[in-house]
Amino acid sequence: EREGYGGSEASMFLTGAQDGHVRIWDLRAKREVANIPAHVNQKGAGAVAGLEVANDLQTVASAGADRTICMLDARKGFQIRHRACEHSDFIYSIKAVDNYVVSGGGDGSLYCHSMAEDKVLWG
């Protein structure tokens, strides 16, 4: 999964990998600037299934095969600010609209998360 970061003047690029890591790349410096084990836990790695950026460019949401949604804070080096664990099956889709992210799971569930408030609004 790949996502440009910063609009049409993007100098950052986000990637999510099979190893459960979200990586932030600086295109100008041509190097990785952050490596976040967002979907790695005691049981191992859960592949990153999707990445989305909030409209304010301050929050990145990642979905993982570990059935979680992580909110990463760009102002704090992309640290995990919030982890939502409502899904009971693999997360197949994630989409940001304004400062909300909607996620859909293999069990037919649909959740709406507020990236500004770090909470699930419904699902």
Q: Write down the pTM of the prediction.
A: 0.86
**CA–CA dist 91, 19 (Å, integer):** 16
What pLDDT score does 47 carry?
92
Residue 60: closest CA among 75, 46, 74, 40:
74
What pLDDT score does 3 carry?
53
What pLDDT score does 8 carry?
47
pLDDT of the chain, 123 residues: tens digit per residue: 545 555 545 688 999 999 999 999 999 899 999 999 999 977 776 899 999 998 888 899 999 999 999 999 999 999 999 999 999 999 999 999 988 999 999 999 999 999 889 899 998
What pLDDT score does 9 carry?
54
On the 0-12 / 13-18 / 19+ scale of CB atoms within 10 A, 118 is middle
Q: What are phi and psi of 19, to 5 degrees?
A: -80, 0
